[in-house]
Amino acid sequence: MRRRRTQDSLVTAARRAGVTDERVLAAVAAVPRERFVPPGAESEAALDRPIVIGSGQTTSQPSLIASMLAALELTGTERVLEIGTGFGYQTALLAHLAAEVYSIERIASLAERAREHLAACGIEGVEVVVGDGTRGLPDAAPFDAVVMSAAAREVPAALAGQVTEGGRVVAPVGPDGAQTVVRYTVRDGRLQDPERLSAVRFVPLIADEPGSG
Ligand code: SAH
């Protein structure tokens, strides 16, 4: 019972935030967020708020995640890269929205939790990789869409070359504390047509030091 109410309230929050993409709303209705939060935080899962997941990270506000995923305008046939898996909630939503999902997380313990959460929900067709997402995921490229869930001053240069012509990149960019979610369309291997979607505050995208892995 609790689960149904959790998902219903998150669908309401996403609608309030302006999400109209019915596929995204159906994904929010299908994924039990309380399975993607730390033990003891389940009762917070129905609230449209970020939740601390450990290792200094948070799982983002669900309505913001829904808005960012709506901005990708997925139809179900796409290969998608997510940068910053965290506990896997957004990954689970993506699994409902795209054909193939790759997700990269730099903290191995978070990636392991995310894999467990996804498996426990019976979600397949998702590959969670431990690594530095600032390099993209060249072995699995090209992608039709990329979503970053950690903020950077700019989208890492490596990504544009890993996206198909006409593909989309949605990312929080800008200086600390003043980031904006921007949607780019990739044309001629470059990020073009930036569209600013909303002002946000994200945990930072952290690149590995050269040579550390
Ligand atoms: N999308 C998830 C998690 C958001 S937290 C959700 O909302 O549920 C952002 C995540 O990005 C953190 O887990 C952090 O470890 C990860 N991250 C930060 N920099 C990264 C990088 N360079 N490569 C991969 N993951 C990164």
Q: What is the pLDDT of residues 88-98, one digit of tens each?
A: 999 999 999 99
Is residue 85 over pLDDT 70? yes
CA of residue 107 to ligand 1 center, whole Å: 8
Q: Is 69 in the pocket of ligand 1 (CB under 6 A)?
A: no
At residue 203, the pLDDT reads: 74
Which atom of ligand 1 sits closest to the CA of residue 65? Answer: 7
Mean pLDDT of the chain: 94
The answer to whether residue 60 is catalytic is: yes
The answer to whether the beta carbons of residues 137 and 82 sit under 8 Å apart is no
**By C-alpha distance, which of 130, 164, 127 is closest to 146?**
164
Listed in sequence order, the DSSP H helices in the chain are 2-16, 22-30, 62-71, 89-97, 108-120, 157-160
The Cα–Cα gap between 211 and 23 comes to: 41
Is residue 212 over pLDDT 60? no
Catalytic residue selected from 9, 43, 60, 109: 60
Q: Is 101 in the pocket of ligand 1 (CB under 6 A)?
A: no
Q: What is the pLDDT of residues 172-195, one digit of tens each?
A: 999 887 889 999 999 999 999 999
In this prediction the pTM is: 0.94
Is residue 29 over pLDDT 80? yes
Is residue 51 over pLDDT 80? yes
**What is the amino acid identity at position 9?**
S
List, in order of start, the domains of the chain with CATH numbers.
2-200 (3.40.50.150)
Residue nearest to ligand 1 atom 20, measured at CA:
205
Where residue 201 falls among pLDDT bands split at 50, 70, 90? low
Q: Is 137 in the pocket of ligand 1 (CB under 6 A)?
A: no
Q: In a 10 Å sphere around its CB, with 0-12 CB exposed, 13-18 middle and 19+ buried, how is residue 88 labelled?
A: buried
